[in-house]
């Protein structure tokens, strides 16, 4: 995860540290916004209309780890004019809140684009939606309810328990693997691979799987496996972590491929540009051997994008 150079300026509320005036590093890829409208409190206090964004340093964080949430304001959707925030209150979606305060006067002033940043540690796994519940622009007389409502969805995954540190890494003989199609969007197709511990012994996994596409006769097809370090169109980025699998527990990884040939392949017969696979040979991270999994797919160019193995059997996108 990114490290955030910061100045401590706020209060500690519900165990979170409020930070602001951070100019370094780029925050994660997701954002949501809420816009002001005419006749609102913001208009009445002579503040310019604005749009508030909420961004997260990770869309798939793990319990016990710090997540950075950044509140920014602009003069309008798509506007290049950044507005300086005086305060922002964030509800983290787990019953806790924090208020962060920015710098409106003095020198040097941080760039208004830096926004206000607050860090939070989630203690329970699940889907949460942190939200901006109120904000004030510098120079405004009152907190504007119109500068609120921005939110972002996070899927918080459970961190492996400390006791699992002594568990061996899972081998192919520990698990069964299955594949389920999760749908498609704009030329991208998703497949969820579930890895379930069917043995009587606990084991753990960490990292990305290896795959080999197989045709109808079991022959190997051209295969290029791309690790989704920065995420993919259908699922967000997630940092590899140890995944604890006691007997009966499941982990999973997401796979995405394109079903529209591009470039020179677009002029080839579809079966040539996007050869059909009926099975996939899966090798677990740091393991030997393969598990052959029934899976009908036709990745164009033989390219598939995969996430690391994560806890649970759900698609990464909340």
Buried b (16+ CB within 10 A) or exposed e, 218-238: eeebebebeebeebbebbbbb
Q: Which two tokens stand for residue 266?
A: 């677009």
Q: What is the pLDDT of residue 296?
A: 96
Mean pLDDT of 21-28: 37
Identify the three-state secondary structure at position 166.
Answer: helix
Q: What is the pLDDT of residue 3?
A: 36
CA distance 6 to 78: 27
Sorted by where each starts, the structural domains of the chain and their CATH numbers stand as 7-156 (2.60.40.10), 162-311 (2.60.40.10)
> Is 52 a residue whose pLDDT tops 80?
yes
Q: How far is CA 191 from the centre of its chain?
A: 17
> Is 24 a residue whose pLDDT tops 90?
no
Q: Are 135 and 41 in contact (CB under 8 A)?
A: no
Chain segment 292-311, per-residue pLDDT in tens: 999 999 999 999 999 999 99
Chain segment 213-254, per-residue pLDDT in tens: 999 889 999 999 999 999 999 999 999 999 999 999 999 999
Chain segment 96-146, per-residue pLDDT in tens: 999 999 999 998 999 999 999 999 999 999 999 999 999 999 987 666 656
Mean pLDDT of 286-294: 95
Q: What is the pLDDT of residue 139?
A: 83
> Is 255 a residue whose pLDDT tops 90?
yes
Q: What is the pLDDT of residue 7?
A: 30
Under the banding of pLDDT at 50, 70 and 90, the label for residue 212 is: very high
pTM of the model: 0.82
Mean pLDDT of 192-197: 98
Mean pLDDT of the chain: 86
Q: What is the pLDDT of residue 50?
A: 81
Q: What is the pLDDT of residue 145?
A: 58
Q: Are 223 and 255 in contact (CB under 8 A)?
A: no
């Amino acid at each position: 995860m990114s490290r955030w150079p910061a100045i401590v300026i706020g209060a500690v509320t519900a165990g979170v540290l409020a930070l602001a005036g951070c100019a370094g590093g780029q925050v994660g890829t997701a954002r949501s916004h809420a816009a002001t409208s005419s006749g609102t409190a913001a208009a009445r206090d002579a503040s310019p209309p604005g749009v508030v964004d909420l961004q997260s340093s990770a869309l798939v964080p793990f319990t016990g780890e710090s997540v950075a949430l950044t509140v920014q304001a602009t003069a309008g959707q798509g506007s290049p004019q950044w507005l300086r925030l005086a305060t922002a209150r964030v509800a983290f979606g787990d019953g806790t809140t924090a208020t962060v305060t920015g710098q409106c006067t003095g020198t040097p002033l941080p760039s208004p684009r830096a926004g206000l940043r607050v860090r939070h540690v989630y203690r329970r796994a699940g889907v949460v939606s942190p939200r901006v519940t109120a904000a004030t622009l510098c120079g405004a007389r009152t907190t504007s309810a119109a500068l609120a409502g921005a939110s972002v969805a996070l899927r918080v995954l459970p961190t492996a328990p400390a006791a699992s540190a002594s568990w061996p890494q899972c081998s192919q003989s520990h698990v069964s693997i299955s594949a389920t199609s999760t749908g498609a969007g704009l030329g991208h197709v998703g497949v969820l691979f579930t890895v379930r511990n069917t043995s009587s012994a606990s084991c753990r996994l960490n990292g990305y799987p290896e795959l080999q596409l197989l045709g109808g006769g079991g022959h190997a097809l051209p295969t290029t496996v791309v690790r989704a370090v920065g995420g993919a169109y259908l699922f967000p980025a997630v940092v590899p972590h140890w995944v604890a699998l006691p007997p009966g527990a499941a982990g999973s990884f997401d796979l995405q491929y394109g079903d529209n040939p591009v470039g020179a392949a677009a002029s080839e017969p579809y079966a040539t540009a996007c050869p059909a696979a009926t099975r996939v040979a899966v090798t677990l991270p740091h393991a030997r051997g393969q598990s052959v999994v029934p899976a009908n797919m036709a990745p164009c160019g033989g390219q598939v994008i995969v996430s690391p193995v994560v806890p649970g059997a759900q698609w990464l996108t909340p």
